[in-house]
């Protein structure tokens, strides 16, 4: 049976999000319905509301959630009603060549689930019966969500759902960029450009990996304060300290071992590449506009052997990494409590988005 649910919807780009009551259809074969307990407000949700991520509205927002299974579709035998889950915004199929070759974050099937479930259809309707799109194949900023079974990962039910939710995007993407994509080595020097929800997790990923020096770069002193809490050893605010590249080259004795760009701008990707040492690795984590470009000097490329790579969802292997990250939390090595600096009721979602724009939170989370 379908469910009525309050949901946060982007109706039109560059307009405030709206909270409306929608219809969430029952799970079909191979699907599950989740009663959402908490959903983080991620910068990507904001990017969907202003066309930076150009997915067509109307979109039910949200891709960073945790909750409990309330219904399973035909053929779902390995997860049951009552199980606690984190939503993964990549439903990895386990069968395509990327999944088989160990890069499930690049799964061909999940790449098709951008505004629908992997079968290309939506389970969401508005009060007039019109179809709504699932943002990022999820659409979980709502009281209920119907998702592909491969979009949910069963977890230890003792973890608070607000903490579990943020593992599904910010933590996985940021910490995973350091731990999975770059494989940061103990004793290394790291730079993280952009200390928002993802950047803070890149910082703590570097700290967990044993980096000795972690330089956070952001134009907000408030975010740099958060950065220190998550393990940054040095901070640079380009709006008062000037161009960060020269300062980083000096502070690291010729360049950092790793740099993580967590904003999604050509200029800061350029900074990330320019501030690493010979043979260093620069990782692009931030999602830019489709029209954004990067200009890099070509002459030194062969001489410096720098690596520039992207990191999709922190190289997530969700079924392995989500429980692993929660184990690090339980062991006191991964900070989640400190990340959730505000919680909101769903009716206050517009304020949660305003707070995201103002940069007042490490992470704001809507709790149901
Ligand atoms: Zn796949
Ligand atoms: Zn996200």
Residues 294 and 301: their CA atoms lie apart, in Å, by 15
Q: What is the mean pLDDT of the chain?
A: 96
Q: Residue 159's pLDDT is what?
A: 95
Q: How far is the CA of 315 from the centre of ligand 1 (A)?
A: 13
| Ion ligand 2: protein residues whose beta carbon lies under 5 Å | 42, 44, 169
CA–CA distance, 366 with 368 (Å, rounded to integer): 7
Say how many Å lie between the CA of residue 302 and the centre of ligand 1: 34
Instruction: Return all residues near 253 (Cβ < 8 A) that are at least 6 apart.
Output: none
Say what percent of the chain tops pLDDT 90.
99
Distance 172 CA to ligand 1 centre (A): 18
pLDDT at res. 84: 98
110 alpha carbon, closest ligand: 1
- CA 198/CA 216 separation, integer angstroms: 12
| Average pLDDT over every residue of 146-170 | 97
Q: How far is the CA of 365 from the centre of ligand 1 (A)?
A: 29
Looking at residues 301-328, what average pLDDT do you find?
A: 97
What confidence score (pLDDT) does residue 1 get?
A: 73
pLDDT in tens, 6-53: 999 999 999 999 999 999 999 999 999 999 999 999 999 999 999 999
Order of strands, edge to edge, in the sheet holding 307-310? 234-236, 213-217, 189-193, 256-261, 276-284, 307-310
Considering every ligand atom, which ligand is closest to the CA of 287? 2
Q: What predicted TM-score, i.e. pTM, was given to this entire model?
A: 0.95
pLDDT for 199-243, tens place per residue? 999 999 999 999 999 999 999 999 999 999 999 999 999 999 999
Mean pLDDT over 50-61 rounds to 95
Taking the CA atoms of 355, 208, 287 and 21 in sequence, report the sign of the dihedral they define. Answer: negative
Ligand number, closest to the Cα atom of 140: 2
Ligand (nearest to CA of 111): 1
Distance of CA 230 from the midpoint of ligand 1 (Å): 33
CA 105–ligand 1 middle distance (angstroms): 8
Q: How far is the CA of 103 from the centre of ligand 1 (A)?
A: 8
Stretch 356-360: mean pLDDT: 92
Please give the distance, rounded to the nearest whole angstrom, from the Cα atom of residue 61 to the centre of ligand 2. Answer: 11
Interior CA angle at 197 toward 178 and 148, to 5°?
Answer: 85
What separation in Å is there between the alpha carbon of 166 and the centre of ligand 2?
A: 9
Per-residue model confidence as pLDDT tens digits over 328-340: 999 999 999 999 9
| Closest ligand to residue 113's CA | 1
Question: Residue 109 CA: which ligand is closest?
Answer: 1
How is the chain split among helix, strand and coil, in percent rounded to 5? 35, 25, 40
Q: ∠ at Cα 340 (223, 333), nearest 5°? A: 90
Q: How far is the CA of 99 from the centre of ligand 1 (A)?
A: 4
How far apart are the CA of 163 and the centre of ligand 2, in A?
14
CA of 95 to the centre of ligand 1 (A): 5
At 219 the pLDDT is 97
Q: How far is the CA of 304 from the centre of ligand 2 (A)?
A: 33
């Amino acid at each position: 049976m379908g469910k009525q649910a309050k949901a946060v919807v982007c109706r039109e780009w560059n307009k405030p999000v709206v909270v409306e009551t929608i219809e969430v259809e029952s799970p079909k074969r191979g699907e599950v319905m989740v009663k959402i307990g908490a959903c983080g407000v991620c910068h990507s949700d904001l990017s969907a509301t202003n066309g930076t991520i150009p997915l067509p509205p109307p979109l039910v927002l949200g891709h960073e959630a945790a909750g409990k299974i309330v219904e399973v579709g035909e053929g779902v035998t390995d997860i049951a009603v009552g199980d606690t889950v984190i939503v993964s915004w990549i439903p990895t199929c386990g069968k395509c060549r990327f999944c088989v070759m160990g890069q499930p974050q690049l799964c061909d099937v999940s790449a098709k689930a951008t505004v629908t479930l992997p079968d290309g259809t939506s389970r969401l309707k508005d009060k007039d019966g019109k179809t709504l799109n699932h943002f990022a194949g999820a659409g979980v900023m709502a009281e209920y969500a119907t998702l592909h079974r491969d979009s949910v990962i069963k977890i230890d039910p003792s973890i608070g759902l607000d903490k579990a939710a943020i593992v599904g995007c910010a933590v996985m993407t940021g910490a995973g960029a350091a731990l999975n994509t770059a494989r940061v080595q103990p004793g290394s020097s790291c730079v993280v450009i952009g200390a928002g929800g993802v950047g803070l997790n890149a910082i703590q990923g570097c700290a967990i990996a044993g980096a000795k020096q972690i330089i956070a770069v952001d134009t907000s002193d408030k975010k740099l304060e958060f950065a220190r809490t998550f393990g940054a050893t040095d901070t640079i605010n380009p709006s008062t300290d000037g161009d960060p590249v020269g300062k980083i080259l000096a502070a690291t004795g010729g360049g950092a071992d790793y740099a993580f760009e967590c904003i999604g701008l050509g200029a800061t990707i350029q900074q990330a590449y320019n501030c690493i040492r010979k043979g260093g690795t620069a990782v692009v984590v931030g999602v830019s506009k489709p029209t954004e470009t990067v200009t890099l000097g070509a002459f030194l490329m062969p001489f410096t052997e720098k690596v520039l790579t992207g990191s999709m969802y922190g190289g997530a292997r969700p079924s392995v990494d989500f429980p692993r990250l929660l184990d690090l939390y339980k062991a006191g090595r991964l900070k989640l409590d400190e990340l959730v600096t505000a919680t909101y009721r769903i009716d206050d979602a517009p304020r949660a988005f305003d707070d995201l724009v103002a940069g007042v939170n490490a992470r704001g989370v809507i709790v149901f």
